[in-house]
């Protein structure tokens, strides 16, 4: 029994969407970890005026606390936006996967009945 081209296309699209969802979930986890690291660094810097060194490539450069806090807060804001975007992409892919699964199951049922 041959599989109709539309069903083959849906199956391929389903597999591609699954892979994309997996990649998005990995990216989301990485961004969450970076966000937490930034949060930890900001917490550590609260109320401190000691020497601070930041890593730039393979160098450690002395910097002042307000500048580092500002940079970390900007990075944190960027991470929030990135998490939001990844969350929306994840949601859309999940919806697409449900739709494709339904179409594939419907086609499989029709093929079984034939």
Q: Model confidence at 4, in pLDDT bands (50, 70, 90)?
A: confident
What pTM does this model have?
0.82
**In order of start, what are the domains of the chain with their CATH numbers?**
5-108 (1.10.287.370)
Q: Does residue 109 carry a pLDDT above 90? A: no
Q: How do residues 54-78 score in pLDDT, each as one tens digit?
A: 888 999 999 988 889 999 999 999 9
CA 58 to chain centre: 27
Q: Does residue 114 carry a pLDDT above 70? A: no
Q: How do residues 14-57 score in pLDDT, each as one tens digit?
A: 999 999 999 999 999 999 999 999 999 999 888 877 788 888 89
């Amino acid at each position: 029994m041959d599989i109709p081209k539309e069903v083959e296309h849906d199956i391929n699209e389903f597999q591609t969407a699954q892979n994309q969802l997996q990649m998005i979930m990995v990216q989301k986890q990485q961004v969450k970890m970076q966000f937490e690291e930034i949060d930890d660094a900001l917490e550590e810097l609260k109320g401190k005026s000691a020497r601070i060194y930041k890593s730039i490539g393979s160098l450690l450069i002395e910097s002042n606390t307000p500048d580092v806090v500002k940079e970390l807060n900007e990075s944190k804001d960027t991470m929030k936006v990135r998490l939001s975007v990844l969350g929306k992409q994840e949601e859309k892919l999940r919806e697409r996967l449900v739709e494709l699964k339904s179409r594939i199951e419907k086609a499989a049922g029709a093929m079984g009945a034939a």
